[in-house]
Amino acid sequence: MISFLAQPGGLDALQAPEIDYWAMAPLLIVLGAACVGVLVEAFLAKPQRWPVQVILTVLTFAFAGLTLGLRLTKDPKGLTTVAGALSIDRPALFLWGTLLALGFGAMLMIADRSVEPGGSFVASAAIRPGTIQDRAQAGQHGMQTEVFPLALFALAGMMTFVAANDLLTMFIALEVMSLPLYLMCGLARRRRLISQEAALKYFLLGAFASAFFLYGLALLYGYAQSVKLADIAEATGGTDRSDTLLYAGFGLLLVGLLFKASVGPFHTWTPDVYQGAPTPVTAFMGACTKVAAFGAILRVLQVAFKASSWEWEYVLWAVAIVSMAIGAILGITQTDVKRMIAYSSIAHAGFLLLGSIALNHDGLSSTLFYLLTYGFTTLAAFGVVSLVRNADGEATHLSQWAGLAKRSPLVAAVFSFLLLALAGIPLTSGFIGKFVVFRAALAEGMGPLVVVALIASAVAAFFYLRVIVLMYFSEPAADGPAVSVPGAFTTAAITLGVVVTLLLGVLPGFALDWAGAAGFVF
Amino acid sequence: MTEHVAQATGIASWAWLLIAFPALGATILLLAGKKARGWGHLLGSATVIASFAVGLATFLDAVGRSPEERVRELHLFSWIPVQALQVDFGLRLDPLSLVFVLLITGVGSLIHIYSIGYMAHDQEHRVGKANEERSRFFAYLNLFVSAMLILVLGNGFVTLYFGWEGVGLASYLLIAFYQHRPAAATAAKKAFLMNRVGDLGLAIAIFIMFNRLGTTQYTEVFSRAGEFTQPELLAIALLLLLGACGKSGQFPLQAWLPDAMEGPTPVSALIHAATMVTAGVYLIARSNPIYNLTPDGRLGVVIIGTITLLIGCIVGCAYDDFKKVLAYSTVSQIGYMILAVGLGPIGYALGIMHLLTHGFFKAGLFLGAGSVMHGMNDEGNIRKMGGLRKHMPITFVTWTLGYLALIGFPFLSGYYSKDAIIEAAFSQEGWRAWVFGGAALLGAGLTAFYMTRLFLLVFMGEERWKKLKSADGRDYHPHESPLTMTVPMIILAIGSVAVGFLLSKGNTLATWLEPALGELQEGGHGPIPHEIVGWLVLALSALGALTAYLIHGRKSVAVERPLKVAFPIRAARNDLYANAINEAIFARPGTWLTRALVFVDNKGVDGVVLGSAALLQGSSSRLRRMQTGFVRSYALSMLVGSVIVMAALILVRF
Amino acid sequence: MAWKEGIVLQPYLPLLLMFVLAAGFAVFSVTAAPYIGPRRYNRAKLDAYECGIEPSPQPVVGGGRMPVAYYLTAMLFILFDIEMVFLYPFAVKADDLGLFGLVEIVLFIVSVGFAYAYVWRRGGLDWN
C-alpha cells in the first residue's frame, strides 16, 4: 500500500533536470545577493547596514553584468534550461541587460541619502501614520534598508518573468516580482498615509490580477494538457478540442499580464500607486516593471499564441486604442507631475502593445528597443522629480513647477529634454522608438492603429509641452520649491538616463542591432 | 528619373557648421540662463552671422561648379542603420536648399541684429528683467534657425520631419514669449494644435513611403517614385499638402498665423513671414518628382492655394491691427506660392522666386511695423496712427519700398515674381485658367487695396495720435528707432527693390534651380496673352490702390472703428458721388464678404480647433472622475474590462 | 464494463480508506475526550477557542483589532508548513535524484533559513 501511494502511475521515471548554471548566472547572482542582503539585515548593526548594502548592490550589478556580457559573446541563439522552464535566448538576454541597467539606475536613486536627508525611505514602516511615534520618527534619519534586498528580489522576479518558458514559472516569477513591490510602495518617508494607501491598493488589485492569471493558466492547462508555451502553441496549431477553453484561458491570462503592464482599462492602479510610492520606487516600477511585463507579453503572444493570432488580434487592437486614448486624454487634466507621468506611461503602454501585436521579427525587435528607450527616459524623469522639493518633501504639484527654469536652468533643461523624448521628438530615443514600432505595426497591416497612435502621441505631446511652457514662461511662485543639489547617486542615475536617451536618439543603430539579433527559443 | 548625387567635398564638407553654430548658441544660452544677461544677444547674433558666412561660402562654391555637380550630399552619420530600416542623417546641398540657407541665415542675421535693439526693453518696461528675457529670446531664435536649417538641408523626409518638429517647437515657444498675456498663451496653443494636425499628415505620408519603398531618403524616394500606385501618389500628395497647410497657414488651417502675431515682432518677421511659414512651399517644391506624377494631387494644391490667397486678401481688408493685416497678407502671399508650386513644372521655380522676394519685402514690412510700434508705445491699432512719415523718415522710406514691392509696383521685386505666377496660372487649359488665373488677378487688386489702406492710415493723413493716450496712460512720442533696427530695415528695403530684377533677369533663378526642380517649362497659351495679363495686373493693382486712396486718403479717419450705419453715411456726406459708387461696387459687398469671412475664420475654424481642444479637455475631466480613488471601483473597472475582452475573444469566433 | 471501471478506480481505494480512517479518528477523539479526560476548569479554559484570541468587541483602547503578532506567527507557521510540503516529494524521490537532489534541497532549506534568521534576529519570535 505504501509503495502504491509513492508511485502514482507514470511518474516513476523522474530525472534530475539539466541546469545550465552559467547561462542562468546573472539571475542567480541577483537572487543570491538578495538572500545575502537579508542576512545583512539580520546580523549587522543599524549604522553598518546602509554602506554594506550599497557595496553589495554595486558588486551584484557588476558581476551580473559581467556574466551577462560573457554570455552575449557566446551562444548566438540561446537555449532552454531547467527542463525547459527557462528560455535564455536573445530577447531574454536583451531584456536582462535592460532590466539590470535600469535596475541599477533605480538602485542608485534608492540608495541616495542626500536629496532627502536620510533617504527616501521611512525608518520604521510598521508604525501607524499620524500617531505620536510616527511624528517622532519623522525627525530620525534612519531608513529601512530592507528595501535593498526587496528590490533585488523584485528584480530577480522580473528577470525570471521575461525568461519563463512555461506559464507556471511565469506565475511564480510574477509573484516574486510583485510582492516586494507592494511592500516597497508603502515605505515612503513623507506622506506616509498616501504611501500606505498606494501599497494596499496595489496589493489588492495585484492579487486580483494574479487570480485572473492563475485562472487563465488553469483553463489553458485544461485545453493543452500542458503549461509549456511551446505545447500550447502546438495544441492551437491542430486540434479539434473546444477552443472556448483556449480563448477564455488566453483572455484571463492576458488580463493578468496587461494589469502588470498598466495597459488600457486595467491601468486604474497606476496613477495612485505612482503618486504614493517613494519616487525611487516609482522610477523602479515605471521602468523595470514595464519592461518585465512587456517582455512576458511578447513571449506569450509570439511563442504560444501566434498561430491563433487572427482570432484575438482585433481584441488587442481595441485594448491598445483604449490604452492610448486613456493615457493621452486623461493626461491633459493632471495637476501632479507623478500622476502625469503615470498617464503618459499608460499611453506608452498602448504604443508598446502596438509593437507586441505585430507578430513578426520587426515587432519583437522594435518593442524591445522601445522598452529600452522608454525605461531610461522614465527613470531619469522620476530622478528629476525627486529633486524638486520644498519643506514638505517633494513638490509634485504642477503649479509648484512654474518658473522652475529661472531658478535652475539645468534641471529645467534636462526635464524638458526628457519630456520631449516622451513626446517622441526627433533626436531623442523616443522618436526612434516610436518610429520603429509604428513601422513594424504598419508592415503588419495595422494602418488604422498607427494613425490612432499618431493622433494619441500628438495629443500627449500637448501636455508635455504644457509643462515645458510652465517651467520656462510662468513667473515662479513666491513660496515655490527649491531644487536640491543631488548627491552623486541621483546625479549618476539621471545622467545615465539622459545620456542613454540622447545616445539612442542619435546613434540607435547598435541597440537596434542587439534588439533584432535573434528571436525566441522555446 | 535618375539623379546625379555627388558626395560633398571641400568647403561643402563643412556645411554641418551651418546647423552647428546656432544649435551651439541655443544650448549655451539656455544653459547659461541669467548668466548670459550681458552677452546673450551678442552670442546669439554672432552664431547666425557665422552660419551665414558658411552658407555664403558653400553657395559660392556651388556657383563655381557645373550645373550637374551642384547637387551634393554630405553624409553625416547613419541614424538608424538597421537592415530593413535605413535612415541616414545627411545634408543635401543643392541649389534649392542653398537658396533657402541664404534666405534663412541672411534675413535671420538681419533680424537678430534688429532684435538687439527691439528687445532692449520688454513689454512691461521692466528694465532690470529685460536683459535676461532678451538672452532667452535669442536662445529660442537660435534654436529656430538651426531647426529651420535642418528642415531645408536634410536629405530625407525623416530629417525634414525632425526640422519640421523643431521649428514648430521654436515657433510655439516664441509665440508664447509674452506669457503673461493670455492672448499669447492662447495663440501659442492654437498654433501648436493646428500644426499638429499638419504634422500628422506629414508623418502618415512618410510612413506610406516607408511602407512601399523601405526608405525615406530623397534620392531613393524620388528615383523610385514610379513604384507608387496612383492612389498612393494621390494620398501622399494630399497628406504632404496637409502638412504644408499646417505649417504655412493655408486653408483650412490658416487661422493660427494671424494670432501668432502675439509674439514679438522680430519673430513675426523671421518665422511667421520670411522663413518658417514658407516651409510648406519648400516641402511641395522639394517633393516635385512625386507631384509631377499626380495631376490630381497638383490640382488639390492649386485649389488650396487659390482659396487661401483670396481669404487672406479679403480678411486683410478688415483688420485694424497693423501686424494682423500684414499676417493676412502673408497668408495670401503664401497662397500665391502654393498656387505656383501646384502648377507643376511651369510653376515650381516661380513659387520659390516669389518666396524669396516675399522673404525680403515682408520681413522688411514687419520690421517696419515693429519700428512703428516701438515708437508708438507698442500700439498696434492703425486707426490711432497717421502722419508718421515726418517722425520716422527711415522707417517710412523703407516701409514704402517694401509696400510698393508687395503690391507689384513696376520693376520692384513683387512685380517680377507675382506677375509671373499670375501669368502661369492663366496659361493653363480651359476653365482652370479662368478660375485660378482670375482669382490670382483679383487677389492682386485686393492686395493693392488693403496695403494702400495700411500705408495711408499709418504714414499719411492727420496725426490722430496727438489727441490720444496709450493704454498705460502715456502720451505718444513717435521717434525713429536706433541704428540696430534701422540698418536691417534699410538692407531689406534694398533687397525688396532689387532682388526681383536680379533673380528674373535672364531667368537666373530658374536656371540655377534646374538641378533640383527640373527645367522651368513654358506654360501653354491660355485664353489671354501674357502681355495682356501683365497689363491687367497693373491696372487692377492701380485700381485697388486708387480705391483705397478714395476711401481713406482724402478724409479724416475715425479713431474708433465706425459702426455699421455711420460709416456709409459719413462717407456719402463727404463725397457723395464717387464714394457712393465705391460703396455700391466695392465697399458694401466687400464689407459683407469680409465680415462673413472674418466670422467663419474666427468662429468656424477656430471653433473646430479650439472646440476639439475643449472636447479633449472636457472628456478628460469627465473621465477623470472615474479615477475615484476607491479600490472597489478600480477592481470593478478591471472586471468590466476583462468581461468585455473575454466576451470579444469568445464571440469573435461566431 | 464494470470490470473496466473497477480497474480505473482501484488506485483511489487506498485514498478512500485513508479518509475513512482519518474521519474515524477525529470523531473518536472528540467523542471520547469528555468521557476519559480529567476535568479541571480555569479561566483560560473558558475562553473561546482556547487559543488566545479575544473575540471582538474589545476595549476601546486597543481599537478592536487582534494583536499583529498573531498574524506574524500564523504566517511563519504557514511558511514552514509549506517547506514541509516541498520536503515530502523530495523524500519520496530522493533515490532517483541522488546527489543533485540532496544539494538542491539543502539549498532550499538554507534559503528558508535566511528568512528564519531574519525573523529571529529582528525579534519576530519574541512573544511579548
Q: DSSP per residue over A147-186, as a string?
A: HHHHHHHHHHHHHHHHHB-BHHHHHHHHHHHHHHHHHHHT
More confident residue, A260 or B602: A260
Sequence-ordered list of residues with C-beta below 8 angstroms from that of B411, at least 6 positions apart, any chain = B501
Residue C89: inside a domain, yes or no? yes
Same domain assignment for residues B554 and B609 = no
CB-nearest to C115 from A1, A14, A38 is A38
- CB–CB of C93 and A1 under 8 A? no
pLDDT digits (tens, 9 = 90+) for A9-25: 445 566 778 888 888 99
A15 contacts C14? CB cut-off 8 A: no
Res. B628 pLDDT band, cuts 50 70 90: confident
- Angle among Cα B597, B603, B606 to the nearest 5 degrees reads 105
Asked if B584 and B492 sit in the same domain, the reply is: no
Do the Cβ atoms of A14 and C120 come within 8 Å? Answer: no
Domain region containing B581: 563-621
- Looking at the complex, report in whole angstroms how far the Cα of residue A208 sits from the nearest Cα belonging to chain C: 20
Q: Is the Cβ pair C98, A43 closer than 8 Å? A: no
Write out pLDDT tens, residues B240-284: 999 998 888 887 777 788 888 888 888 888 888 778 888 899 999
Work out the minimum CA distance from B136 to partner chain A, whole angstroms. 10
Q: What is the pLDDT of residue B182?
A: 75
The grid coordinates of residue A70 equal 560573457
Grid cell 511667421 is found at B272
Residue B212 has pLDDT above 50, yes or no: yes
**Pick from A1, A4, A16: CB nearest C101:** A16
The predicted model gives B213-235 an average pLDDT of 85
Q: Which residue of A has its CA nearest to B81?
A: A509
Does position C50 have pLDDT exceeding 60, yes or no?
no
Asked if C touches B (at least 3 Cβ pairs < 8 angstroms), the answer reads no
Has residue C108 been placed in a domain? yes
| Cross-chain residue pair A4–C101, CB shorter than 8 Å | no
Whole-model pTM above 0.90?
no
Residues of B in contact with A333 (CB under 8 A): 617, 620-621, 624
Single-letter residue type at A34: A
Q: What is the pLDDT of residue B606?
A: 55
Percentage of residues in chain A with pLDDT exceeding 90? 51
Within 8 A of C96 by CB-CB distance, chain A residues are 14-16
Count the domains in chain C.
1
Cβ neighbours of C92 in A, within 8 Å: 6
Whether B550 maps to a domain, the answer reads yes
Q: Count of domains in chain B?
A: 2
Among the ranges given (A172-181, A388-397, A403-412, B625-634), the one the predictor scored with the smallest mean pLDDT: B625-634
* B412 inside domain: yes
Helix (H, G, I), strand (E, B) or coil at A66: helix
> Mind listing the pLDDT tens digit for each residue in B369-380?
888 888 887 777
Question: Closest residue of A to B195, CA-based?
Answer: A458
Q: In this structure, what CATH number is given to the domain that contains residue C111?
A: 1.20.58.1610
One domain for residues B611 and B529: no
Domain boundary residue among B561, B591, B610?
Answer: B561
Pick B136 or B615 by higher pLDDT.
B136
Question: A349, A263 in Cβ contact below 8 A?
Answer: yes
| Whether the predicted pLDDT of B171 surpasses 80 | yes
Identity of the highest mean pLDDT range in A165-179, A181-195, B345-359, C52-66: A165-179
Say if residue B473 is in the same domain as residue B585. no
How far is C31 from chain A, CA to nearest CA, in Å? 29
Q: Has residue B443 been placed in a domain?
A: yes
pLDDT surpasses 60 at B124: no
Locate cell 477592481: which residue?
B635
Task: Find chain B residues with C-beta within 8 A of A209's C-beta.
Answer: 638
Classify residue A6: in a domain, yes or no.
no
Residue B610 domain flag: yes
- Spatial distance between the Cα atoms of B319 and C87, rounded to a whole number of angstroms: 89
User: What is the distance in angstroms between the Cα of B632 and the nearest Cα belonging to chain A?
Assistant: 9
Q: Has residue B147 been placed in a domain? A: no
Q: Tell me whether residue C86 is in a domain.
A: yes
Contacts of C67 (CB under 8 A, 6+ apart): none
CB contact under 8 A, A42 and C98: no
Using one digit for the tens of pLDDT, what is the confidence trace for A424-453? 888 889 999 998 999 889 888 888 899 899
Share above pLDDT 70 across residues of chain B, in percent, rounded to a whole number: 84
Measured between CB atoms, does C115 come within 8 Å of chain A? yes
Do residue A4 and residue C98 have CB atoms under 8 angstroms apart? no
Which pLDDT belongs to residue B566? Answer: 44
A318 contacts chain B (CB < 8 A): yes
Are residue B473 and residue B584 in the same domain, yes or no?
A: no
User: Tens of pLDDT along B96-115?
Assistant: 888 889 889 988 898 888 88
Length of chain B: 654
Kindly report the nearest CA distance between residue B643 and chain A, in angstroms.
Answer: 9
Dump pLDDT digits (tens) for A249-275. Answer: 999 999 999 999 999 789 889 999 999
d(CA B197, CA B504): 36
d(CA A308, CA A305): 5
CB atoms within 10 A of CB A10: 6
A522 in a domain, yes or no? no
Asked whether residue C55 is domain-assigned, the answer is no
Residues 6+ apart with CB under 8 A from A104: A61, A496
Residues 74-113 of C with CB under 8 A from A: 92-93, 96-98, 100-101, 111
pLDDT of residue B607: 57
What does the pLDDT average to over B41-66? 87
CB A344 within 8 A of CB A267: no
Confidence of residue A212 (pLDDT cuts 50, 70, 90): very high
Q: Is the dihedral of CA A369, A375, A378, A379 positive or negative?
A: negative
Q: Let me know if residue B256 belongs to a domain.
A: no
**What is residue B386's three-state secondary structure?**
coil
Instruction: For B354-383, give the DSSP string.
Output: HHHHHHHHHHHHHHHHHHHHHHTTT--BGG
Cβ of A508 and B80 within 8 Å?
Answer: yes
Nearest chain A residue (CA) to B623: A330
CB of B421 within 8 A of CB of B350? Answer: yes
Pairing of strands A393-394, A86-89: unpaired
> Is residue B611 one of the residues assigned to a domain?
yes
Check CB contact under 8 Å for A512 and B82: yes
Contact C114 A41 (CB under 8 A): no
For residues B426 and B526, membership in a common domain is answered with: yes
The mean per-residue pLDDT over the stretch A380-407 comes to 86
Give the range of the structural domain holding residue C77, as residue numbers without chain letter. Answer: 65-128
Structural domain total, chain A: 1
- Look at residue C93 and tell me if it is in a domain: yes
In a domain, A2, yes or no: no
- Per-residue pLDDT tens digits for A60-118: 999 999 999 998 887 677 888 888 899 999 999 999 999 999 999 999 999 988 888 87
Report the complex ipTM.
0.82
Structural domain contains residue B312: yes
Closest residue on chain A to C115 (Cα) = A38
Using a CB-CB cut-off of 8 Å, the residues of chain A touching B32 are 409
Mean pLDDT of chain B: 79
- Which chains are within 8 Å of B by 3+ CB pairs? A
- For residue B174, the number of C-alpha atoms closer than 13 Å in the C-beta half-sphere is 31
Answer whether the bond into residue C57 is a cis peptide, omega within 30°.
yes
**Interface residue A254 vs chain B (CB under 8 A):** yes
**pLDDT tens for each residue of A347-357:** 999 999 999 99
Residue C107: inside a domain: yes
The average confidence (pLDDT) of chain A is 88
pLDDT for the residue numbered A119: 82
pLDDT of amino acid B423: 85
Task: Tell me, yes or no, whether C77 lies in a domain.
Answer: yes
Numbered residues of chain A with Cβ closer than 8 Å to any chain C Cβ: 1, 4-6, 8-9, 14-16, 35, 38-39, 41-43, 126
Give the three-state DSSP class for B8.
coil
- B vs A contact (3+ beta-carbon pairs below 8 A): yes
Q: Do C122 and A42 touch (CB under 8 A)?
A: yes
Residue A331 forms part of a structural domain: yes
In a domain, A3, yes or no: no
Q: Which chain C residues have a beta carbon less than 8 Å from that of A14? A: 93, 96-97
Is the pLDDT at B575 greater than 60, yes or no? no
CB contact under 8 A, B165 and A332: no
Query: What span, in angstroms and rounded, lies between the C-alpha atoms of A339 and A328?
Result: 12
Q: Return the number of CB contacts < 8 Å for A and B.
A: 173
Across the interface, whether the CB atoms of A42 and C100 are under 8 A apart is answered no
3-state helix, strand, coil in chain A (%, to 5): 75, 5, 25
What's the confidence (pLDDT) of residue B77? 75
Q: Is residue A493 included in any domain, yes or no?
A: yes
Residue A520 lies in a domain: no
Q: Which domain holds residue A133?
A: 19-515
Instruction: Assess if residue C88 is contained within a domain.
Output: yes
